[in-house]
Structure 1
Amino acid sequence: LNLYPDGSSYYLVRALARHLGFPPEQIFVGSGSNEIIELLIRTFVTPEDEVLLTKGSFVMYKVALQAHGRPFVEVPMKAGYRYDLEAMAKAMTPRTRLVFLANPDNPTGTAFGKSELDAFLQKVPPDVLVVHDEAYFEYCDLPDYPNGLDYVRRYPNMIAMRTFAKAYGLAGVRLGYAVMDAKLVGYLNRTRMPFHLTSLAQAAGVAALEDQEHVRKTVALAHEGLRYLEAELPRLGVEVPRSYANFVFADFKRPAKPIYEGLLRKGVITRPVPNYGFPNALRISVGLPDHNERLVRALKELLA
């Protein structure tokens, strides 16, 4: 640790290449997905361009765009807290340069399938970059989920973005990656900061890729917790759309802040999401079975 880290993340990139079945030249690693989001905006979007977002989706897209003074257009979700890709296609203009798609979505946990993405991509010009943010893809059991890697092979303007923070459990080391056309990787490597990944992050990523059994167990436990919460919360009058992530989006149909504060007093931490435009909802991460049961007991007391 007394030496600077490998600026090219040589071993991590090649470990990812072997794991994903792509050449190293098509893989970019970053200090979490947030750095990759910021670099994509800084590298490929000018103040004269526009970026297309879905209103209520992952807030860091908008935060990064505002920080860099880049214009954006937000398209409302359709019923069920779902992406409206048809409306997004209609919202594109000659100024559109980049599109962010969170699939599964954060904070709603909803997901869209191949047919919806295929129809959308048929309407996207080749000079518009499409980022398929797959931060929660390991948890997604949607039968026709569109694996972004397949689309990167077919579309030079497609970017599949993933992370080690969720299913791999490495949120604290800040490590994400994206797969895209080699030319795009080259541009990002010119604009990123040197030594942007610590030696510890690189080593942790290589080790994590070798432990796929841990990922399998993590996902199985999350699915068990999801089914439990999706069964219990509606009995308390809470609307919960089907989640394809490792959390549930709990819509209480009334201001959620008092509920959040009440849960906090009972030692249960959840995530209020008024900054996403959902003041009546909480995003609730799935925990161990006893954690999930404790949450339900606390909500029964608060909502009685």
Structure 2
Amino acid sequence: MPGHRAYELAPRSAALRLGQTARLMGILNVTPDSFSDGGRFDVVSAALAQARLMLAEGADIIDIGGESTRPGADEVSAADELARVLPAIAALRADGIVAPISIDTYKAEVAERAIAAGATIINDVYGLQREPELAAVAAATGVPLVLMHWDKARDTARDVMAELARYFEVTLAIADKAGVPRDNIVFDPGFGFAKSLSENYEILRRLPELVTLGFPVLVGTSRKSMIGKLLDVPADGRLAGTVATSVLGYTAGAHIFRVHDIRPNRDALRVAEAALYGPRD
């Protein structure tokens, strides 16, 4: 069983230390059509209230997204995405929230303006391979990058972990060319993105192989179909499955957990931390 290597990201306002303590990234979708919470937080007051709740329950990062990536979702323009995310980011900062804010986007324009408004991390579901210009934004602003695997054209006959490694090699080449420091990069294996049910669980089982590449790893399984299909439950019935995947991901060496439900994941991860390293003082 792998331990947790220590890392330190630099999201502008304060260093984010990663190691034995699991970090929670709270999902805040300001969209009308996300798969499990679309339309719930697309009003600024509701988004602010949800951010406060997640932080009170133990979130370390708030991840704000203005475009749904669920299967079949329509893409939105940069203008529409900005109209959704900028008021939410501004409201959180105006309210005195100092926690890192991640902007969930693959668009360079959206990332640049979100950072100007107060975002301090970029979370790109295409791993710099949709808009490579995003790497230049990260390099110029000094913000960390969460880079996800999403390869719709990959060869499914090849070993899935080998495909992840190959994809991230391309991603790193883009980041290196733009001057992004490697110690500001987090890998996300992209659970649920162009992967079969069996592949999702194989990645979870073999997550230590990704950890050994030498980058912090983010696990994002919250309420996803890999849980729904396995247990035959709708999105609002997937909490127990989500918690199980968070704990399994943590014991495999992952550092950050992107979830909708903070408190139950936080409690389960605290127990996992104590089991591996002893209770905190």
TM-score by length of 1: 0.31
**Structure of higher CA gyration radius:** 1
